[in-house]
Structure formats: structure tokens, C-alpha cells
Amino acid sequence: MKRILTGIKPTGTPHIGNYLGAIQPALGLAKGQSALFFIADYHALTAVKDPNKFRELSLQVTAAWLACGLNPEDVIFYRQSDIPQIFELYWILSCFAPKGLLNRAHAYKSLVDANRESGRHDDDTINMGIFNYPVLMAADILLFGADQVPVGSDQKQHVEIARDIADSVNHAYQKQLFVLPEPIIQKDQALIPGIDGRKMSKNYDNVIPLFADEKTIRKRVMQIQTDSIPMADPKDYRVCNVFHLYQHFASEEAIATRKAQYSQGGLGYGEIKKELAELILAHFSACRSTYDSYINAPQQIEAILEEGAKKARQIASGTLSELKQCMGLL
């Protein structure tokens, strides 16, 4: 059995891009394996500094994963900040992480490059949280002996950094202390278009939120941008934003029928958008009531996360004491 682990950063209200690109594939991968999923709240602190927003987003994101089918009986589900051992390991790993390796981390490097381009000091507005981000992520992963780490393509390098650090520690003590983790790259969210056709992202304000009220979801779907080819003329479904989302929710038959309509002409965008909105609403209708019940009872979420944290801390303290012993700290 493989051990699968992934972190979920609560930095935005869950949307359809998150569902198709992260939630659905990660839950699929976890089936029948030993899985640990956690809310990476300390990672989110590099981005979200407003306390009310922070609480609200953590709650929404936790509720969304539970509502979309994460079963805390099957997956150890916890909050990163509830596991103090992650932070102990984080320091230990910092003592093995070459600074030069972190200088090359994409997220940090692109901020430095942007500063340079606009004539600012290299370090302008860059805090140590951003710089050390990959080391904290390595601690998340290595503490639990994860074999596979499902992530978006933007996080691949971070998993490779974790692997490099693990290798250095193993080498330094001539012992297989850490499992070398492997990134599993999930469907790129860049391929899931938002209503303006760019990657669906909160940064572009083009998302279809998973659990907004029905009216909002219908409205967002109707706003999806399309071309102005007349209804009677043939169209290319491969470049149509509506069709792109449609194929994730419609039946195979319906997809085939629509494809033919696109090629032959006679398809009205208004009509397929309406169908898409109804498909989305139907797809999430059971999840929506679970989601609402969690949002209205945050103490239930707390109880689930605390249960998960107990299990996670147990694994974590085992790994950490073995490591400390090996290093001469114990």
C-alpha cells in the first residue's frame, strides 16, 4: 500500500477548478491507499493576513473537501498547525537545506525577478515565510513518510526539493531515515477555463464557486465568454469554454450529441449554458447540503480535525523521536 499525502492551502473560496483539478483527482488517488490530507494553514499565512478572512477560508475549504467526499474514516484529515512536530522537523530540515537550492525555488525566484525588473531591491516585500515555504512543505511530507504527493504542476518543484533534502539527511546519517517522495501531477487547473476563458482562478475573478447560491451559479455560467459565430453556423467545440466545462459534467451520450451539433451548426450558446448550469447544480446538490450543514456547525469540523490530528501526531512523534535519536538530540 502506498502512502499518499497532500496539503490544501486555504487561500480562496472553493470553485469548480479546484474540484476538477485537485479535489476529485486526489480523492480518487487516495482510494484503497493509506492517505493523509491536511489543511496547510501555516502555508496560507504567507498570503492571507486578515484574521476573519483566514477563519472563513479555512472553514470553507475544510467543509468543501468533506462535502465532496473526503471520508475522515478513510483519510487522516488534520490541520497543519495542530501538529507541533511539523515545526520541529522544519527547523531540523532547514539545517540541511542548501540556501542555493531555495534561491532557485520558482515562487521565490519569480518575486525576486519581478523586483529586479521594476528596479526595486531584490528582497523588496519578500518575507522569510516565502523563502522557507519549501522547507515547511518538506517537513509536511517527510514527517509522514509519504511515497506519493499529488500536487498541481506549480508545486512539482517543491516536492523535488523535499526529495533532495530527504536524500541529504539520509546520506548524512547513512540511514534510510526518510522515504523519498514522488510528485503525482494532477490535471492542470490551467486547463480548466474560468468564465473569461483564462485559467479558472480567484486571482482573475473568473471562477464558478462550488457552493454559491443557485442564482449566482446560473448567472456565472451564463456569463461564460463565447465567440459571436451565428447560431446556424458550425463551431469548434475544442475552443469553446462552455463545452470545456460541459464535458466534465454531461453524460457521454450528451457530449457526443453536442459535439455533432457544434460541427453541424444550429447550436445556441444560451441553451447549452442553461444545460451546463443545471448539470453543475445537480452534480453538487447532495454535496451542497452537506457543505451547508458543516458551515452552520463549525464545531463538527473542529471535532473531525481534532480526531485527525490525534492520529497524525501519533505518527509524527514516532518519526521525530527516531530522527532525534539518530541525530544525537535524544
Binding site for ligand TRP (CB under 6 A): 5-7, 9, 40, 43, 137, 140-141, 149, 151, 155
Give 142 or 217: the residue with its C-beta nearer to ligand TRP.
142
Give 15 or 258: the residue with its C-beta nearer to ligand TRP.
15
Give 160 or 278: the residue with its C-beta nearer to ligand TRP.
160
d(C-alpha 134, C-alpha 38), whole Å: 16
CB of 323 to ligand TRP, least distance (A): 18
CB of 13 to ligand TRP, least distance (A): 15
Give 149 or 272: the residue with its C-beta nearer to ligand TRP.
149
CB of 7 to ligand TRP, least distance (A): 3
* Identity of the residue numbered 4: I
CB of 4 to ligand TRP, least distance (A): 10
d(C-alpha 280, C-alpha 16), whole Å: 9
Give 110 or 289: the residue with its C-beta nearer to ligand TRP.
110
Give 106 or 171: the residue with its C-beta nearer to ligand TRP.
106
Is residue 180 within 8 Å of 166, Cβ to Cβ?
A: yes
Dihedral over Cα of 312, 318, 322, 325: its sign: positive
Give 26 or 250: the residue with its C-beta nearer to ligand TRP.
26
Grid coordinates representing 23 are 479535489
CB of 239 to ligand TRP, least distance (A): 29
CB of 262 to ligand TRP, least distance (A): 35
Give 7 or 193: the residue with its C-beta nearer to ligand TRP.
7
Q: Which of 194, 215, 204, 187 is nearest to 277 (CA)?
A: 215
CB of 64 to ligand TRP, least distance (A): 14
d(C-alpha 16, C-alpha 284), whole Å: 10
Grid coordinates representing 46 are 504567507
Q: Where are the alpha helices (DSSP H) in the chain?
A: 16-18, 24-30, 41-44, 51-67, 84-94, 99-103, 106-117, 128-142, 156-173, 214-222, 241-249, 252-264, 269-283, 285-295, 298-327
Nearest to ligand TRP by Cβ — which residue? 7
Grid coordinates representing 190 are 490551467
Own/partner contacts of 160-167, CB < 8 Å, gap of 24 or more, are 161/97, 161/101, 161/102, 161/105, 161/134, 161/135, 161/137, 162/134, 162/137, 162/138, 164/101, 165/93, 165/96, 165/97, 165/135, 165/138, 166/138, 166/142
CB of 5 to ligand TRP, least distance (A): 6
Task: Enumerate residues 6+ apart whose C-beta is below 8 A from 125.
Answer: 111, 115
